[in-house]
Structure 1
Amino acid sequence: METVRSTTRIVLAFAVIYLVWGSTFLAIRIGVHEVPPLILAAMRFFIAGLVLYGCALIQGSASPTLRQWRSAILLAILIFVINYGLLFWAEQRVPSGVAAVMLATIPVFTTLAEILILRTQRLTLRLVIALLIGIAGVAVLMSRSLNLGGAPIDHLGALALILAAFTWSLASVLTRKMHLPPSKLMNSGAQMLAGGAMLALTALPLGEYQNFHPLAVSRAAWLALLYLIVAGSILGFTTYIWLIHHESPTKVGTYAYVNPVVAVLLGYFFASETLGLRTILGTLSVLISVLVITTTKSKSVSA
């Protein structure tokens, strides 16, 4: 009986990181149609960060030291202010499913950073082919010359998403060298708190508060924000932390292939987003690239 319960919990946990995280892209798109993007992102991460930070304190985790706060703030700038800030902004111009596919290139940029910057990864023929396939997938989504049906995605939005993916990968690489709170709950809570606060401040010079009228925002947009906070950040993250301790990182990492597919399908069925040959080919190319890269055994450069 205990084995059955454990298996059920694991299946439900995978369902959360597959479906919930994949659906957050559609929730973002619903929200940014009525709430300025940086304000929406600020509310999501500040509130979620406050909850996670409080839960970590209740569990007995120590508050971050000054050195740990400095590291958390730097990562918050890369992940929440730049990465998520650009994602929320870009979803005003780019379909939610395609946005998810573009961010699926994060492992591609992470591998490039390990090869070119850290020099901790060796370039192999397998990686070269995988990187080229990923780049080709992005090119298919952006190209105006390929006659594949469906309009190419907005170039400015696409560039914002590429920069977002790059900054996340850079943060992933830097995390390994930074002094952060040992508690993952406290670490994420601190980063979300800092990121939410900085997003709120960044929205000020951009004039977003002048265009934000809370009473004019529809119930759907507020529900989308609530979903992002509770399901996307709090439930999704805590489920991920639990799952990473019960399953192998390789299995848990499969969310990177599933989330874009979920986002594309939800966008098609619930937001009337185009699902033509262009989107299908671009998505498959990016996902094949990510699959090959994440399943390639690391070959470290000799000292």
Structure 2
Amino acid sequence: MTLSTHQLKLLAAFFALYVIWGSTYFAIRVGVEYWPPFMMAGVRFTVAGALMYAWLRWRGDANPTWQEWRGGAILGVLMPAIGNGFVTLAEKDVSSGVAALVVATVPLFATLFARFFGHVPRKMEVAGILLGIVGMVVLNMGANLQASPAGAAALLFASAGWAFGSAWSKHLVQPKGLMSSAVMMLSGGVALLLGSTAVGEQLVATPPLAGWLAVAYLAFFGSMVAYTAYLFLLKSVSAAAATSYAYVNPVIAVLLGVWLLGEHVGVHEMGAMGIIVLAVVLIGWRPKPRAGG
């Protein structure tokens, strides 16, 4: 069977979310060893957004209208700035694997926020939300989050911001095509740099090669490639399917953290991973309709 161009794009987009975003938690954990968190996230998104915007304008794409800039900027603040900025902040104290586990609750938040836009959750979605809350309770019983209540709060705030942006994105006027990614990343990056200045972050020393490579990987693969894939999926498939990366990202992040960073994952974290992933599966579960008689 030959796949259509659209199907190939969908496969590539899902690969980007599942694998690349799963590995970004590792890259962030490496980067925050050498960069202040908001500054690093701000540099990542400002560079990625500016490069993509410049390339799109060079190839002849129209400049977004004021209304499109406004919609993209709102999503930029909610998703890259809050959604990613506070994950970066939390990874100063929380392991990359546990950060990915908390962010796996995004589909739970997205389902709740979708009510603001007229979506009534199905029974299976309600069950998934309740099970996800149980998973969060189990996760908080582990030593990793107990050692950093501020990190846990930052991760929940990040998840809520990202989920609200995802739910709102279908109802906001945005730039067309890839320009949507460029505006969102550029707006989010500027917001993060302003936030970095506001809280008094300073770069005390020039980062070594590992610090620069982490930012470069996050800017190109984690931002330009994966964000574009995510926005494409939000417009092409259901919100539940688009956020299904939450099934896979925690597993990849935990494995990379244990393998390359020597992070410890306890019984509570492993149990919570199973519960949260099952909860996300329930939210996205849609039984096939029975054939008519």
Output the amino acid matched with 1:168. W
Contact map agreement 2:100 2:253 (CA 8 A) in 1: yes
Give how far 1:16 is off.
3.6
- Provide the rounded CA distance (Å) in 1 between the counterparts of 2:242 and 2:83: 22
Contact map agreement 2:37 2:89 (CA 8 A) in 1: yes
Moved more, 29-38 or 228-237: 228-237
Structure 1 residues 256 and 56, CA gap change in structure 2 (3 angstroms): farther
Contact map agreement 2:181 2:224 (CA 8 A) in 1: no
Structure 1 residues 13 and 151, CA gap change in structure 2 (3 angstroms): closer
What secondary structure sits across from 2:181 in the alignment? helix
Output the amino acid matched with 1:276. G
Structure-2 residue corresponding to 1:195:
188
Structure-1 residue corresponding to 2:24:
24
Residues 116-146 of structure 1, C-alpha deviations (whole Å, 9 max, x = no match): x33x2324432222111101111111126xx
Structure-1 residue corresponding to 2:125:
127
Structure 1 residues 122 and 23, CA gap change in structure 2 (3 angstroms): same
Give how far 1:89 is off.
0.5
- Provide the rounded CA distance (Å) in 2 between the counterparts of 1:77 and 1:6: 30
Moved more, 135-144 or 27-36: 135-144
Contact map agreement 2:135 2:273 (CA 8 A) in 1: yes
CA RMSD of aligned residues (A): 2.9
Structure-2 residue corresponding to 1:99:
99
TM-score (norm 1): 0.84
Question: Identity across aligned pairs (percent)?
Answer: 34
What secondary structure sits across from 2:262 in the alignment? coil
Contact map agreement 1:142 1:155 (CA 8 A) in 2: no
Residues 125-172 of structure 1, C-alpha deviations (whole Å, 9 max, x = no match): 32222111101111111126xxxx877452211111111111111112
Structure-2 residue corresponding to 1:176:
170
Give how far 1:21 is off.
1.2
- Provide the rounded CA distance (Å) in 2 between the counterparts of 1:151 and 1:179: 38
Structure-2 residue corresponding to 1:53:
53
1:161 aligns with 2:161: no
Structure 1 residues 253 and 203, CA gap change in structure 2 (3 angstroms): closer
Residues 189-223 of structure 1, C-alpha deviations (whole Å, 9 max, x = no match): 011111111211111121102xx1342x2211111
What secondary structure sits across from 1:203 in the alignment? helix
Structure 1 residues 6 and 172, CA gap change in structure 2 (3 angstroms): closer
Contact map agreement 1:78 1:167 (CA 8 A) in 2: yes
- Provide the rounded CA distance (Å) in 2 between the counterparts of 1:238 and 1:35: 25
- Provide the rounded CA distance (Å) in 2 between the counterparts of 1:55 and 1:9: 21
Q: Which runs of 4+ in 1 moved over 6 A?
A: 5-12, 241-245
1:269 aligns with 2:259: yes
Q: Where in structure 2 are there 5+ consecutive unaligned residues?
A: 288-293
- Provide the rounded CA distance (Å) in 2 between the counterparts of 1:8 and 1:82: 31
Q: Aligned residue pairs: how many?
A: 286
Structure-2 residue corresponding to 1:142:
140
Contact map agreement 2:46 2:189 (CA 8 A) in 1: yes
Structure-1 residue corresponding to 2:35:
35
TM-score (norm 2): 0.86
Output the amino acid matched with 2:140. M
